[in-house]
Chains A and B, each alone.
Chain A
Amino acid sequence: MNAAEHSQLRWNTRHLIPNRNVRIALKIAMITYLYFGIVSVDVNWIRVYQGAGRAMQFVVAFLSPDFVSQYELIIDGILESLAMTVVATLAGVAVGLPIAFGAARNISPKPIYFVCRAFVVVSRTFTEIIIAIVFVVIVGFGPFAGVLTLTIAGAGFIAKLLGEDIESINPEQLEAIRATGASWWATLVYAVWPQVKPRFLGLSLYRMDINFRNSSVLGIVGAGGIGGTLDIAFARYEYSVGAAILLLIVALVLTAEYISGKIRQRVQ
Chain B
Amino acid sequence: MAVITDSTGEKLWQLRTRTESLKKWLVWFSVLVVAAVAWRYVSANTQWIFVVDSPRQAADLFGRMVPPRISYIGRLWGPLWDTINIATLGTLVALVIAVPLAFLAARNTTPHPLFRTVALFIIAFSRSVNSLIWALMLVMIIGPGLLAGIIAIGIRAIGFISKLLYEAIEEVNREALEAITATGARRSQVIFFGVVPQILPALAGIAVFRWDVNIRESTVVGLVGAGGIGLYLNHAINRMAWPDAAAILIVIFLMVLSSEWVSSKARHAII
Contacts and interface: CB of A to CB of B under 8 A. Distances in A.
User: In this complex, which of B124, B201, B257 has the most chain A Cβ atoms within 10 angstroms of its Cβ?
Assistant: B124
Interface string A26-63: 00000001100110111110011011001100100000
Given A125-B257, A137-B61, A249-B128, A16 B201 contact: yes
Nearest to A84: B42
B41 A79 contact: yes
Contact of A253 (B37, B85, B128): B128
Interface string B25-53: 00000010011011101110111001100
Contact of A86 (B34, B147, B197, B260): B34
Secondary structure at the A interface, as helix, strand, loop or mixed, is helix
A90 interface: yes
B233 interface: yes
Contact of B132 (A84, A129, A143, A254): A129
A213 B142 contact: no
B89 A134 contact: no
B58 A143 contact: no
A253 B220 CA distance: 22
B88 interface: yes
Given A51-B142, A216-B133, A37 B128 contact: no
Nearest to A224: B45
B92 to A, nearest CB: 8
B33 to A, nearest CB: 11
A176 interface: no
A13 to B, nearest CB: 5
A59 B45 CA distance: 34
A221 interface: yes
A203 interface: no
B143 interface: yes
A238 to B, nearest CB: 12
Contacts of B39: 83, 87
A16 B37 CA distance: 54
B85 A127 contact: no
Contacts of A121: 257
Given A41-B85, A41-B147, A253-B128, A234 B137 contact: yes
Given A87-B42, A133-B237, A250-B124, A144 B51 contact: yes
Interface string A104-133: 000000000000000001100111011001
Contact of B147 (A48, A54, A82, A254): A48
B89 A217 contact: no
A220 B132 contact: yes
Interface string B192-227: 110011001100100000000000110110011000
A262 interface: no
Contacts of A221: 223
A14 B145 contact: no
Contacts of B252: 125-126, 130
Interface of B: 31, 34-35, 37-39, 41-43, 45-47, 50-51, 54, 57-58, 61, 81-82, 85, 88-89, 92, 124-125, 128-130, 132-133, 136-137, 140-143, 145-147, 150, 192-193, 196-197, 200-201, 204, 216-217, 219-220, 223-224, 233, 237, 249, 252-253, 256-257, 260, 270
15 contacts: A16-B200, A42-B145, A48-B142, A51-B141, A87-B39, A90-B35, A127-B219, A129-B220, A133-B237, A139-B51, A140-B47, A143-B45, A221-B223, A230-B133, A250-B128
Given A129-B220, A221-B223, 18 more contacts: A13-B193, A16-B200, A16-B270, A37-B85, A38-B89, A40-B81, A43-B146, A48-B143, A83-B39, A86-B35, A86-B38, A87-B35, A130-B220, A133-B233, A134-B61, A137-B237, A216-B130, A230-B136
